């Protein structure tokens, strides 16, 4: 494919994804059974509320990770701070007043999932290259062959080949001692804890830095807003434009002042209980608002006997943050797996070393025996079609979860309601709003982020 063809393909994909934003939001507006006057008043009200009025993050300070921090250390920061994402600060930016130089983007668990899955496959491929290395091929050649055999493309082809090459040398010594010359998954399985060492405790995996993955593996663009922006801008970015978080900066200053997430917004909405405008919307059953937007035939789920690796791959391939764990042909819900659970693969060695054979059910059971908050991690949060929007918001807020599963009488999953969906119920988008109020630069970043 020529460079011109590649650029044309990229632009077409970006345009397609941007049109998906429009399609999603138009679908919601058409299904909401709310008066147009109420929606217009709410939208106008949110447009008048400055971002500076939104409550500060816990402890009044935004948790950041440094670009030169290792992935393992960054995961510890996210886990210990009980957050799912954090802005990545560039220590080489010095005293630069440009936020684009000061920050490289957002690191979240979705980014880490992408990296872990592809790195694990590359390391496994490197293990199979052992016999080639022993036969006289260089480690770099062997690693490259392993990556090519996997069909590695994109960022992994550019950065991952080096990792596979060095990984082949590391794994080569380990595998040679055990007399292994097998296919990648088998070699990884047989090595057990040694495979864990290759991934996280040996070079180059051990020293992989945040800056090497934060841009290549991200799911959404990095778009900050200023403190004098309107909350409508933030709500649109978190709903229609599918951002999970929006950094807030002060005009003329590069440091992040606040960090607004979908979860924080829904918690804020829940505190509006008792106000006429809020109650007039949340008193409705979810079906009267067109919910769930994700219907039964669109639900992406995982059977309890499927491998946990497959569950994470489904999240990666479908750009979703979690999925229900079900059993049987009726898809009766028995659990939930969130993208945040990837931390257990990285922080709990026993789980990681066996992850290629670990079923989703065993993964959940293992977490339940080791997690202090086992109910939140494993138990699925559900509601019925008869539930009101107010009840759904209350559950999402008090349980601090990102999605709720709509179930039938047999506890079968018939839909999903996400934080994005809830926020979308309260707003509409004025014509040309993003371009006029966020500026053409934001529109360009949204387009690039969709590529």
pLDDT per position as a tens digit, 274-302 = 999 999 999 999 999 999 988 899 999 99
Check whether residue 113 and residue 74 sit in a common domain: yes
Check whether residue 289 and residue 252 sit in a common domain: no
pLDDT at 223: 85
Distance CA 6, CA 21 (A): 23
Distance CA 157, CA 308 (A): 25
User: What's the CATH number where 68 sits?
Assistant: 3.10.580.10
pTM for this structure? 0.77
DSSP result, 107-131: EEHHHHHHHHHHHHHHHHHHHHTHH
pLDDT at 322: 92
Mean pLDDT throughout 427-437?
Answer: 80
256 lies in some domain: yes
Check whether residue 230 and residue 336 sit in a common domain: no
34 lies in some domain: no
Phi, psi torsion values for 251, nearest 5 degrees: -55, 130
Check whether residue 328 and residue 373 sit in a common domain: yes
pLDDT in tens, 167-220: 443 444 444 444 444 444 454 455 455 555 555 565 555 678 899 888 776 666
Check whether residue 242 and residue 283 sit in a common domain: no
Check whether residue 302 and residue 391 sit in a common domain: yes
Check whether residue 361 and residue 240 sit in a common domain: no
**Locate tokens 């250390």: which residue?**
73
Residue 322 contacts residue 308 (beta carbons within 8 Å): no
Distance CA 265, CA 422 (A): 10
Output the average pLDDT for the chain. Answer: 76
364 lies in some domain: yes
Q: Which of 236, 260, 284 is the last residue of a domain?
A: 260
Can you give the residue range of the structural domain that contains 309?
A: 276-425
165 lies in some domain: no
Check whether residue 255 and residue 327 sit in a common domain: no
Distance CA 21, CA 358 (A): 36
Check whether residue 416 and residue 281 sit in a common domain: yes
Do strands 256-261 and 332-338 pair parallel, antiparallel, or not at all (unpaired)?
Answer: unpaired
267 lies in some domain: no
Residue 399 contacts residue 336 (beta carbons within 8 Å): no
pLDDT in tens, 239-263: 998 888 899 998 888 789 999 999 9
Check whether residue 303 and residue 340 sit in a common domain: yes
176 lies in some domain: no
12 lies in some domain: no
3-state SS assignment for residue 21: helix
Check whether residue 229 and residue 319 sit in a common domain: no
3-state SS assignment for residue 372: coil
71 lies in some domain: yes
Is residue 36 very low, low, confident or very high in pLDDT (cuts 50, 70, 90)? confident
Chain length of the chain: 451
Q: In total, how many domains does the chain have?
A: 2
Check whether residue 254 and residue 373 sit in a common domain: no
């Amino acid at each position: 494919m020529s460079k011109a063809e590649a650029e044309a393909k990229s632009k077409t994909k970006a345009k397609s994804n941007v049109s998906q934003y429009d399609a999603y939001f138009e679908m919601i507006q058409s299904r909401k059974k709310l008066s147009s006057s109420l929606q217009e008043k709410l939208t106008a009200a949110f447009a008048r509320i400055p971002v500076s009025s939104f409550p500060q993050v816990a402890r009044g300070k935004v948790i950041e990770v440094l670009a030169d921090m290792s992935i393992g250390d960054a995961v510890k920061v996210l886990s210990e701070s009980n957050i799912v994402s954090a802005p990545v600060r560039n220590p080489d930016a010095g005293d630069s007043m440009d936020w684009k130089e000061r920050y490289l983007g957002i690191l979240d668990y979705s980014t880490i999932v992408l990296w872990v899955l592809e790195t694990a496959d590359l390391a496994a491929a490197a293990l199979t290259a052992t016999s080639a290395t022993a036969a006289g091929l260089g480690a770099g050649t062997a690693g490259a062959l392993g990556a090519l055999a996997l069909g590695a493309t994109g960022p992994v082809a550019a950065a991952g080949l080096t990792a596979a090459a060095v990984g082949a040398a590391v794994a080569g010594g380990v595998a040679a001692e055990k007399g292994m010359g097998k296919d990648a998954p088998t070699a990884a399985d047989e090595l057990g804890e040694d495979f864990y060492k290759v991934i996280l405790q040996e070079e180059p995996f051990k020293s992989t830095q945040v800056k090497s993955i934060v841009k290549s593996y991200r799911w959404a663009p990095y778009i900050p807003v200023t403190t004098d922006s309107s909350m409508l801008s933030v709500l649109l970015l978190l709903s229609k434009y599918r951002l999970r978080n929006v950094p807030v900066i002060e005009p003329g200053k590069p440091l992040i002042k606040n960090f607004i997430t979908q979860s924080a917004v829904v918690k804020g909405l829940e505190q509006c209980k008792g106000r006429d405008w809020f109650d007039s919307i949340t008193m409705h059953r979810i079906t009267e608002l067109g919910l769930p937007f994700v219907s039964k035939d669109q639900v992406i789920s995982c059977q309890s006997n499927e491998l946990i690796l497959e569950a994470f791959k489904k999240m990666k391939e479908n750009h979703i943050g979690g999925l229900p764990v079900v059993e049987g042909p009726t898809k009766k819900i028995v659990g939930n797996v969130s993208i945040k659970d990837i931390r257990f693969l990285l922080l709990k060695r026993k789980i990681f070393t066996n992850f290629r054979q670990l079923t989703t059910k065993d993964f959940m059971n293992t977490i339940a025996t080791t997690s202090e908050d086992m109910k939140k991690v494993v138990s699925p949060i559900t509601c019925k079609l008869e539930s009101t929007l107010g009840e759904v918001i209350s559950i999402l807020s008090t349980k601090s979860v990102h999605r709720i599963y709509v179930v039938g009488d047999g506890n079968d999953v018939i839909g999903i309601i996400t934080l994005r969906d809830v926020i979308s119920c309260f707003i509409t988008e004025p014509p040309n709003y993003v371009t006029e109020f966020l500026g053409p630069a934001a529109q360009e970043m949204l387009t690039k982020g969709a590529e």
